[in-house]
Structure 1
């Protein structure tokens, strides 16, 4: 009951939208007007209850008007009802065999082009009704007769049409409480009241006895091949629109997702029942579904109740429809037809270079027919997709005249790419040494023949060709006569460069490990990483512009680019034992660190200097354990003197140095703060920090937990300036 307080109001809003639109679709299709109301009631009750979407609203749809109009003209209305029943049976069968998702393979450009074409056909036909005439048999005839129809306008009928379109145009700018009445209903009511008040001479609609005057469907007489084509067209167009509408509405609400196979089955049952009762074909309609969601619908009961309201209206209030001028309905259809040409859809297809598909489909629907236009659009979409999937790029560069020609072929090598491939390869001068990288995921026989023939000719004329395949060895296998793969090779998982060698490769002997691991690593870099990073390195080849000077320990477990997610050109890195920064002028002198600081601040103009320490630092452990630890290592002993201020600070903090692990961790963190202070002894650094041009940052990498923490510099005015330990580092 909690959902009904949302669903009942929503169902009433959708009902008010559905009635005029259903009548308009029936008018455009040349079917009895009551057939539109029957389809709306059946679509709401049956498809709403049995379908796979909780918010979609089904009913007669404008996309089928051209098909239905042709069927009515050829076979008559009662035979068209039987075709609707058979189309529903086909949908039911497709849903039972789980074929619903195949409809999603249709390009949206084809769907939108079809709807635009149908909309233009409807607008051209109904414009004649607005002008007081009758629609012709084809869009060409409607267009040809339009000038004479304009010259022979019927005043009152045209005024009703203009009034209807005017209300539709301005209704969106009305106050919110006024817009609670749907625009189509407001337009028809305005036209009806005005025509009655001024006693205009307009055409009236009469549904007296139409709902109860039911006649059974009859077998169509004619060529069964054409009848079968009509059944297939109704089933597929209605089914595709319903399923695409499901997908669209799923993105508009937070309720349960649609079951597409169940939706197709529910649509099939609804179409069978609609055909039996003398209604139009049924499909999910995006306008009513969107209105349903915006009105606050929560469950499928909103769609079901909307169908109940339509049924009650047809049975009890059908007489009120005769107050609506036929020209007002025709004007509504003209407005809806023009609205199908959506600029939003055009922008989307333009962004994906599918405007030709949209235009061909729309033009084919208008000039030839719905089925022919859709097939033409599908064929063009398939050709464009095939062209994209088989596109080949050939990149050639020669670093110096007479040097090696580096050539990279990327894409899928098929017979479609052979002309481009041979053109590019034959442009390489004879006698040139060629380094050919094949970054391809497929190669057919025609492409192999073209590539192999060029290679033999090039080598015969004195050149050399070295082939390196970055993916599966398509060329090598074909050259050796091996059996080729039946399909495109799936992309390989990216190399796990961040893992140690021991975690990525099979165990090697000690000697083999020393000799091979670096070579294997560089080989993996060339095959997997270099092609991706080559454009970046090309830009960085002439100069570097790092934003950070990163001072860290030489410990092999600390990988700066890994723990900071940085790339080439980001960090100007200095590594030493203990991540120490000797004070300016300190003894023993160390020009290496001082030179890096000088170059980073004076030439590179870095914005940040980071000192990064880590847990379990061997240098700090050596300081804690005393000089005996580094006995026999005189250079290391002298270097660690720069860490004595950090050790003194630990003693001043009162830390219990007998708890070795806690003392080491505290010293590692205090050492970071001490090195940040040491940086301020360099005049250039201190000036830039005071001017706000440079920031000093401390990082602490806890190896065991793989966590990076922030360690703030010790402020001279902070409580920690008394020598106490810094607070626990802040996780980043």
Structure 2
């Protein structure tokens, strides 16, 4: 226990303390800037940073997320301060924290993730635009207007009436922020906001420029308890809920995003919401801004190497120490520099990466509507507009029914219906089905994830009508059996139907439920049956399997990169991909009678196997060569009989000579006696011998000795359908070769 405690302290000193200092340097200027953008006392931003670090860091559900004042809430706070005053706004923050606490206790955190990210991203982008527009006026030496539209209207006149030194400080700050991201990584370890504000303060002090200084007369030591807001309680409750939900949603989305940045414990979202609630109650009582998880500081924390919540807590401690001991330094910062920092942050909040993400899911309209509505109407109105549009688009997607038709050479019409079949899609569905000519044989594939009663009635009534006038309809459901269950009278409750039994594609043709139709009689009946089975099988592949595997094969069409060379017997009962659970592109396969590997220079000469070995090891760069034998191998029976069972097959007799070394090893280990099970013993010995034959090739042997290539032996027992590991040949000749099940070998 002592060692664990010592290791924990060492880890904190090595990783969390340096990370906390980096986050502290980022947090101080951002907290001051957000407080200014929120129309709150500047000390309120520092109080929120302290509480977000210490309280939310200690009680939250994320180990590395950093909480503090969030730019996304500044518009709400500005409106609340303008309407109710600062102390009443603090009470609203306190009550919002209580709401968050209750939501966390009742496990409601996951519900916040149901909000469309397009709405959140659009809201944050609009907040960034509004902040940038309002603070740009301060950079230019003027005052911000009441709304974004008013700021845009006043901007030309503000630009025309520039205020020299103030504008220079603002431009200097923005220039430093923009250039700092292009510097080497070691230099960028110092946070850009801190460097920009230092440059602005030093420049203004050295040249004695006329700038507006930050006023920190509202010291953190001066405190008054919040007061209840007066006015329409409906609006007050709406304000409380807006702060609680927006701060909670931003914190939870930030937690999810931060989880993808580190390899530690995943965040407990309900605990995170509870911790945020307590933190907002504390910051409201102390006169601070609302607290939320913030992505900029959290990202800086992770990138700086933070491992535990100690980094978050310590950053809050550093902010508190700075505010109490060095608060006078803040008065040296030009107000125009803070405004320029906010302009830069506001522009960065319009994230083009978010636009690309929502574009990929067809949600750009939601993003744009939310952004424009927030700018023109207000935050609450814009968010509601975005949510309403997202709901309408989701409802519209329920009407997206795709009907694809394709006629084959035999006159059969293949129809694929995709989407969610609800009453909203019935008009289009009925139109497409009624357009199918009477008497046409139809294969109808239902690639759907839901079917309500109206959609079922539409398909079922069309099927009955089509079959009554001479047509045929063969319905196949690729996923859940919505149609089959509804047709049988089963109750479709709950909404999802029972899982469908897996498609038994591995069964022989004779054992499948849907067998190929009877072949036409020809002079060569066997050939006709084979052609019919293969043709029907290919048709079934094109209809059911090809659409599912096409993306994989499209990627594999450029290049193959198998990791295994798999040498096995040509026996029809061996399916390499089935017994190894592998897929397309995994195995480079060689099949021959007896899974034989001719030794280097052996007669009769055979280059096909050698060519495959050379190509796999020297071009494809496989990591493993596997030789897989099987029980009851006919080739080994021929070897065991001395070639007698090969009969009048001269080619087979010549090929089986490559198994003579296997027979010799078998005789050496088993003696010159036959016994029950001798054939399967020879089959295992043959696998071992082929592994030895592979070592006769210099390149293979070199790669094995270098540890770059592994040789593996497998034995498939057909009767039990089990795969066993076969150990390599051992020096002791008396040891009879055995095999172990794969599960036992892995243990």
Find the partner of 1:156 among 165, 177, 181: 165
1:127 is displaced (CA, Å) by: 0.9
CA distance in 1 between partners of 2:462 and 2:510 (Å): 42
The one-character-per-residue Cα deviations of 1:60-97 (angstroms, maximum 9, x if unpaired) are 11000000111111111111111000000001111111
Distance 1:322 1:674 in 2: 81
Please state how far the C-alpha of 1:25 moved relative to its aligned partner. 0.7
Deviations 1:17-54 (A, max 9, x none): 11111111111111111111111111111111211222
Residue aligning to 1:299: 308
Give the SS at the match of 2:415. strand
5+ long unaligned stretches in structure 1: 506-517, 541-546, 588-593, 601-606, 677-697, 713-727
Tell me the distance in 2 between the aligned counterparts of 1:470 and 1:366: 46
Whole-angstrom distance in 2 between the partners of 1:417 and 1:475: 16
8 A Cα contact 1:672 1:699, kept in partner: no
Cα deviation, residue 190, structure 1: 1.4
Give the match for residue 22 of structure 1: 31
Conserved? CA contact 2:684–2:726, under 8 Å:
no
* Aligned match for 1:217, one of 219, 226, 251: 226
Shift of residue 319 of structure 1?
2.3
Change (3 A) 1:114 1:655: same
C-alpha distance in 1 between matches for 2:626 and 2:293? 63
- Quick check: 1:706 aligned with 2:706? no
The C-alpha deviation readout for 1:624-681, integer Å capped at 9, x for no partner, is 6648x98xx89689897456635655676673552654972477359969999xxxxx
- Counterpart of 2:657? 645
Match of 2:413 in 1: 405
Counterpart Cα distance in 1 of 2:692 and 2:26? 74
Q: Is the 8 A contact 1:554 1:578 kept in 2?
A: yes
Deviations 1:251-290 (A, max 9, x none): 2223332222221111111111111111110111111122
The 2-side partners of 1:56 and 1:673 are apart by: 54
Give me the whole-angstrom Cα distance separating, in 2, the residues matched to 1:452 and 1:200: 83
Q: Secondary structure at the match of 1:357?
A: helix
Contact 1:208 1:318 in 2 (8 A): no
Corresponding residue for residue 509 of structure 1? none
Aligned to 1:450: 458
Decide whether aligned partners of structure 1 residues 707 and 373 sit closer, same or farther in structure 2, where only a CA change above 3 A counts. Answer: farther
Query: C-alpha distance in 1, partners of 2:468/2:635?
Result: 65
Alignment partner of 1:532 is 2:549: no
Q: Displacement, 1:573?
A: 9.4
SS in 2 for 1:411: strand
Question: What corresponds to 1:429 in structure 2?
Answer: 437
In the alignment, structure 1 residue 349 sits paired with structure 2 residue 358: yes
1:619 aligns with 2:634: yes
Q: Match of 1:215, SS?
A: coil
Please give the residue correspondences for 1:267-416 in structure 2 after superposition, counting only pairs within 5 Å. 267-388=276-397, 391-400=400-409, 403-416=411-424
Report which of the two structures shows the higher radius of gyration computed on alpha carbons.
1
Q: CA deviation at 1:119?
A: 0.3
Matches within 5 A, 1:137-176: 137-176=146-185
Q: Secondary structure at the match of 1:655?
A: helix
- Residue pair 2:88, 2:226 contacting (<8 A) in 1 also: yes
Residues 700 and 643 from structure 1, CA distance in 2 versus in 1: closer, same or farther, beyond 3 angstroms? farther
> What are the superposed Cα offsets for residues 283-329 of structure 1, whole Å, 9 maximum, x if unpaired?
11111122222223232222222212222222232222222111111
Tell me, in whole angstroms, the C-alpha distance in 2 between the residues paired with 1:9 and 1:464: 74
Taking structure 1 as reference, are residues 161 and 562 closer, same or farther at Cα in structure 2, changes over 3 Å only? same
DSSP-derived class of the 1:105 partner: coil
Alpha-carbon distance change, 74 to 528 in structure 1, aligned in 2, over 3 angstroms: farther
Query: Aligned ranges for residues 3-18 of structure 1 at < 5 Å?
Result: 3-18=12-27
- Report the CA distance shift for 1:711/1:347 in structure 2 as closer, same or farther (over 3 A): farther
> Structure 2 vs 1, CA of residues 60 and 503 (structure 1 numbering), >3 Å: closer, same or farther?
farther
- Pairwise CA distance, 1:342: 1.5
Partner Cα distance (2:404, 2:316) in 1: 62
Equivalent position SS for 2:32: helix
Aligned mate of 1:188, from 197, 204, 214: 197
User: 1:618 & 1:175 partners in 2: Cα distance?
Assistant: 66
CA 459–40 in structure 1, closer or farther in 2 if over 3 Å, else same: same
Per the alignment, residue 228 of structure 1 pairs with 237
* Structure 1 residues 707 and 187, CA gap change in structure 2 (3 angstroms): same
Counterpart Cα distance in 1 of 2:656 and 2:195: 87
In the alignment, is the contact (CA less than 8 A) between 2:566 and 2:590 conserved in 1?
Answer: yes
Residues 551 and 245 of structure 1, relative CA distance in 2, 3 Å threshold? closer
Partner residue, 1:70: 79
- The alpha carbon displacement at 1:700 in A equals 6.5
CA distance in 1 between counterparts of 2:301 and 2:550 reads: 55
Runs of 4+ in 1 over 6 A off after TM superposition: 499-505, 524-530, 536-540, 547-552, 570-581, 610-613, 636-640, 651-654, 670-676, 708-712
* Aligned equivalents of 2:69, 2:495: Cα separation in 1: 44
Q: Which position in structure 1 is the counterpart of 2:578?
A: 562
RMSD: 4.7
**Cα 1:178/1:574, change in 2 over 3 Å:** closer
CA positional deviation for 1:380: 2.9
Match of 2:708 in 1: none
Indicate if the aligned counterparts of 2:688 and 2:713 stay in contact, CA closer than 8 A: no
Alignment partners' CA distance in 1, 2:224 and 2:692 = 96
Residues 1:668 and 2:686 aligned together: yes
- Maintained 8 Å contact 1:31/1:77: yes
Distance 1:575 1:652 in 2: 21
Equivalent residue number for residue 122 of structure 2? 113
Superposed displacement of residue 388, structure 1? 4.5
1:30-69 pair list within 5 angstroms: 30-69=39-78
Aligned equivalents of 1:70 and 1:243: distance in 2? 24
Distance 1:431 1:701 in 2: 54
Q: Does 1:127 align with 2:140?
A: no
What is the CA-CA distance between 1:382 and the residue it aligns to?
3.5
Cα–Cα, structure 1 residues 429 and 538, in superposed 2: closer, same or farther, change >3 Å? farther
Change (3 A) 1:68 1:703: same
Instruction: Please give the per-residue CA displacement for 1:114-160, whole angstroms capped at 9, x wherever unaligned.
Output: 11110001011111111122111111111111111112222221111
Q: Secondary structure at the match of 2:414?
A: strand
- Kept in 1, the 8 Å contact 2:567–2:626? The answer is yes
Q: TM-score, structure 1 length as denominator?
A: 0.77
Distance 1:456 1:325, change over 3 A: same
Q: Which residue of 1 aligns with 2:668?
A: 655
Unpaired runs of 5+ in structure 2? 1-8, 514-529, 554-559, 613-618, 695-710, 730-738, 740-744
Instruction: Assess if the C-alpha contact under 8 Å between 1:615 and 1:668 holds in 2.
Output: no
The SS at the match of 2:224 is coil
Q: How many residues align?
A: 657
Q: 2:425 aligns with which of 404, 414, 417?
A: 417
CA distance in 1, matches of 2:334, 2:588: 76
Answer yes or no: is the 8 Å Cα contact 1:216–1:276 preserved in 2. Answer: yes
Asked whether the equivalents of residues 620 and 668 of structure 1 are also in contact (C-alpha less than 8 Å), the reply is no
Cα distance in 1 for partners of 2:453, 2:408 equals 32
What is the rounded CA distance, in whole Å, between the counterparts of 1:218 and 1:580 in structure 2? 88
**SS where residue 380 of structure 1 aligns?**
helix
- Kept in 1, the 8 Å contact 2:691–2:713? The answer is no
